[in-house]
Amino acid sequence: MNVRAFYRAAKVPAEPPYDTIHLKVFYPARMSGSELERDMGIVPANPELAPFPVVIFFGGVNCGYEMYQWLAIKLAERGLVAVTFAWVAENLPGIIALTPGVDIAMSKPGTYGTAPTASALPALLAELERLQAEGVLAGLLDLEKIILGGHSAGGRLALENADTRFFTQVAAAFAYGAHTAAAVMLGYDAGTILPLFSSLPMLLMGGTRDGVIAKSSFRYGISQGDATTSVVRTFREAISGGRNDCYLILVEGANHFSLAHPSDGTTGRPFLDFPATQPEDEIRSLVAEAIGLFIDAHVRHQPAAFQALHQLLDAANPLIASFERK
């Protein structure tokens, strides 16, 4: 599979100079040998694989989108379009950072659940409409099958905004190293797990060596904080389930940044993480396969993918510490 990508920019509702986000869009391509291709590097999409469902990926705070390129390529190889983006903005009052776009005002008691918490998502969806109208992806996108995915804080946004009350075109969500424990500093009671709308298929993944989650539990008043408590409680308490299309996978030996490759120790909080105890290329391979099969099964409705996903999870795989489904 030939995977290509291109860049776009879009405006977001913020004060300049923080009102622009930059996108990298990955897609299945087919070399044509055209003059435009040779001269400008513009390679057409492979129409035989269209229409393409679209994955919008929200990265972690201060995690560059190049850290998720490996996953975007894996998804494009499966016949999906994957969108990553970078937004430098005031992530918290007085703190400038690379942010997935958390709307703090909509995350507080009394407002949570009444409006989207992903500030960038409306602009991203509008940009997809433009891509459907022009360029190499014109007419090739399935904008009724949009999947939200993310890592860490971005994973939380993916889960929270997979809500058809606000975004009817979203079909599913997946997250790694994320949970919906509520920050005490926002006014929540200690130990609160915020509910998710839960009308769509969801895949929640976490690592048994997640030092960032373990060492951040004080933020949420979770005294028994460890690598998986918040993730497991999110699956069991925040997601209603009942359709057998929601999954929890705990990856043995994976840490918080196992999803982010290549690693970058100059920003963010990787110094809080525990060392991974399994080969990280094998961890990434498992995570990418689980995500791909989840999308194939529950968004593209491929019967073989259901069986393959369940075989992946049911097998005596040393990388899977545990899994649940509801």
How far is the C-alpha of 316 from the C-alpha of 319, rounded, in Å? 9
pLDDT of residue 324: 97
Top-confidence residue, 226 or 87: 87
pTM of the model: 0.97
Among 35-39, 70-74, 176-180, the minimum mean pLDDT is found in 35-39
Radius of gyration of the chain (CA): 19
Cβ within 8 Å of residue 76, ≥6 positions away: 1, 3, 26, 27, 28, 82
> Above 80 in pLDDT, residue 164?
yes
pLDDT of residue 92: 75
Average pLDDT over residues 21-34: 93
Fold (CATH) for 2-325: Rossmann fold (3.40.50)
Percent of the chain with pLDDT over 90: 90
- Per-domain residue ranges for the chain? 2-325
Top-confidence residue, 322 or 314: 322
> Above 90 in pLDDT, residue 97?
yes
pLDDT in tens, 99-158: 999 999 999 999 999 999 999 999 999 999 999 999 999 999 999 999 999 999 999 999
Torsion sign, CA atoms 222, 227, 233, 238: positive
Average pLDDT over residues 158-168: 97
pLDDT of residue 231: 98
> Above 90 in pLDDT, residue 315?
no
Question: Strand pairing partners for 20?
Answer: 11
How far is the C-alpha of 50 from the C-alpha of 72, rounded, in Å? 17
Top-confidence residue, 17 or 33: 17
User: Which tokens is 51 given?
Assistant: 């229409």
> Above 90 in pLDDT, residue 90?
no
Tokens 């992946």 sit on residue: 312
**Rounded alpha-carbon distances, angstroms, from residue 308 to 77, 300, 303:** 17, 14, 9
